[in-house]
Structure 1
Amino acid sequence: MLVFILAVVAAVGAVFAAAFLFRKSRHGTDDRGHSSTTAGHAGSMLSSLFLLAFAIAIVLPWTAADSARQNTQTESQAITDAYWAAAALPAPAGTQVQASLRDYVRFIVDNEWKLMAKGRLSQEGWARLDTLRAQVTSLQVSGTAAETARSTVLDRIRDMSSARGQRAVDAKTRPPQGLMILTIITAILVCAFPFLAGARPRGMALIPAAAMTAMLTVGIYLSFDISHVFSGALRVKPDAFTTAQQEFPRIPESR
């Protein structure tokens, strides 16, 4: 942060130094008024900088949300595959594993999803997954089919754990704070620049200025609203897990 501040100070200082030297050398002419070359150039650069920051502030959350949505599909599919594999385990062990999987999904949808909007996952969810892994690992089965089913369930639980870890990362993902601050600052400067350059709009000229300010305000609000993948207008919903819940009844139970 200190390096960034020093760079800004150095750049501003270079501009004033250049202006002083050129004035001393009597090179060029005075450039005054809101329609001057300097004002036009500065206005164009400010608009470009705002558009760049705003575009990044929109694209980053959109990409993160798409990635998080795909990850929930991967996690849900791993759970469903584990449920299918558990059906091949002998009862009552297979029935217990299937019940644990149903409870795990229900916990994600009903409890954990609300917590993810705050940027974290529940420790209880991790504990449930660890208990399920230990439950399957400790199973004593005999026969090729049962051994294969047990191995498959353990593989799918590892996939679930990996996807859950990625979901924990997704829950913490936000655009860089500096980017959001830069977007706000440039938006304010874009709105205020005509006044800073010396223009004094009156009458009907105030309408486009007011409309621009209103639209920029809405845009900034939206960029903050979609900045987190599990909250706001662009939030990822637990659709993948509710789909798994709907699929469970179609899967045969362990016998």
Structure 2
Amino acid sequence: MLAYTLSVSAAVGVVLLTALVFRLVRGAGEDRDPAGPTAGHAGAMLSAMFLLVFAIAVVVPWTTADAARQNTHVESQAAIDAFWAADALPGTAPLEVRNALRNYVTFVVRDEWPLMAQGRMDPLGAARMDQLRGRVTGLEVSGDDEEEAKATVLEHVRAISAARAQRTADAAARPPDGVLFLTVLTGALVILFPFLAGARPRGLTILPIVATAGLLGFGTYLTWDISRAFAGPLAVGPQAFQGALQEFARIGGGM
């Protein structure tokens, strides 16, 4: 924060020093016109700065949401693959593993998804996966086929856990610190700049500024509304996990 403050102070100092030097130069005139070169240059730079910050505030959540959506498909597909592979396990293990997978996916859809909209995860989900991994690891198998089935199921369970860890990071992800604040600040400056530059619009001439303010306000709210991957207009839904539950029912014959 200190570095940011010093950089802003240095930039302001350069402007003030430059203005003082040129003011001492003979023949230099004042620029009080709202449409003059000073106001025109400053206005263009403010607009460019707002567009830059606004683009970051939109692109970062959009990219995060897209990656989070793909990751839900990876996790749900790993659960389906584990469900298939469990059929070759010995004894009652197939039923136990499949029930555990079905309960986990149901838990994610029903209980965990609302928490993810708030940027949180339920630790019970990780505990369920640890329990499932321990159960499969502790299975006593005989023969190459059963040993291979156990290794395959464990591989898919590890894939589920890895995808879950990524989903945890996606749920907590936010745009870089200060981006939303800069979006609001630069948007407000763009709206107020004509008045700060000395313009005093009256009547119909104020309508463009009102329209601009409305659009900037909507855009600024949008950047806040899409800041989380599992909430807002870009929210990633549990469709992949719901599809996994349907696939479980098909594979298990309605189990």
- How does 1:185-204 map onto structure 2 within 5 Å? 185-204=185-204
Q: Which moved more, 1:100-109 or 1:84-93?
A: 84-93
Q: Deviations over 1:41-80 (max 9, x none)?
A: 0000000000010011100000000000001110111000
Letter of the 1:228 partner, please give it: R
Q: Which residue of 2 aligns with 1:56?
A: 56
> In structure 1, what is the equivalent of residue 160 of structure 2?
160
Deviation of 1:91 (Å): 3.3
For the pair 1:5 / 2:2, whether they are aligned, the reply is no
Tell me by how many angstroms 1:139 deviates.
Answer: 0.8
Match of 1:98 in 2: 98
Q: Which amino acid aligns with 1:55?
A: A
| CA distance in 1: counterparts of 2:225 and 2:105, whole angstroms | 27
State the 1:143 CA deviation.
2.5
C-alpha offsets along residues 97-139 of structure 1, whole Å, 9 cap, x if unaligned? 1000000000000001111112121111111000000110111
Match of 1:23 in 2: 23
* Alignment of structure 1 residues 63-74 onto 2, 5 Å: 63-74=63-74
Rounded to whole Å, the distance in 2 between the matches of 1:72 and 1:78 is 10
| TM-score normalised over the length of structure 1 | 0.97
Alignment partners' CA distance in 2, 1:229 and 1:26: 58
Question: For each residue in 1:19-42, what CA deviation from the matched residue of structure 2 results, as whole angstroms up to 9, or x when unmatched?
Answer: 111111225321112011100000
Structure 1: runs of 5 or more not aligned: none
Give unpaired runs (5+ residues) of structure 2: none
Once structures 1 and 2 are overlaid, which stretch shifts more, 143-152 or 50-59?
A: 143-152
Task: Report the Cα distance in structure 1 between the residues aligned to 2:126 and 2:27, rounded to whole angstroms.
Answer: 70
Any conservation in 2 of the 1:174–1:228 contact (CA below 8 Å)? yes
Once residues 156 and 14 of structure 1 are traced to their aligned partners in structure 2, the CA distance between those partners, rounded to angstroms, is 60
Counterpart in 1 of 2:142? 142
Q: Give the Å deviation of 1:10.
A: 1.3
Structure 2 CA distance for aligned equivalents of residues 229 and 175 of structure 1: 10
Q: Distance in 1 between matches of 2:202 and 2:73?
A: 55
CA distance in 2, matches of 1:27, 1:142: 97
- State whether residues 87 and 252 of structure 1, in contact with CA within 8 Å, keep that contact through their aligned partners in structure 2: no
Q: 1:219-238 maps to which residues of 2 (within 5 A)?
A: 219-238=219-238
Q: Identity of counterpart residues, as a percentage?
A: 54
Q: 3-state SS of the aligned residue for 1:87? A: helix
Change in 2 beyond 3 A, CA 1:130/1:20: same
Which residue identity does 1:202 align to in structure 2? R
Distance 1:244 1:25 in 2: 75
Q: What RMSD, in angstroms, separates the aligned Cα atoms of the two structures?
A: 1.1
Cα distance in 2, alignment partners of residues 7 and 26 from structure 1: 31
Residues matched between the structures, number: 253
Rounded Cα–Cα distance in structure 2 between residues aligned with 1:248 and 1:74? 16
Please give the alpha-carbon distance, in whole angstroms, between the structure 2 residues aligned to 1:115 and 1:250. 29
